Amino acid sequence: DSQTPYTALRAVELLEESGLPKGLMRVVTGQGRVVGTAIIEGADYVMFTGSSETGAKIAEQSAARLVDFSAELGGKNAMVVTDDIDVERAAKLATIACFANSGQLCISI
């Protein structure tokens, strides 16, 4: 959804209204391949949420500049259903777990 970034932008506005020094926290919107390098080149610390492939590239770029970096990388989790479980209920819960928040959770299965 093209309006999703507005949530983060508004959060920064509210934090600044609450006393956070202006410019201390920044939100940059756009495609990573377009804005990513410029962000890393100008940052003292990088936090990334997204794919493992992109995370590896950002880690490399951050390391080259000796900039601290942390990541929450995409992935899927396993769901184990044992033989003593109600299979219909497990299937329903698996569907919810897969598609809640459009599957855009780091804890999706």
Distance CA 11, CA 27 (A): 10
Sorted by sequence, the CB contacts under 8 Å of residue 105 that are 6+ apart come out as none
Distance CA 75, CA 109 (A): 8
3-state DSSP call for residue 71? strand
| Amino acid present at 86 | D
Catalytic annotation, residues: 72, 106
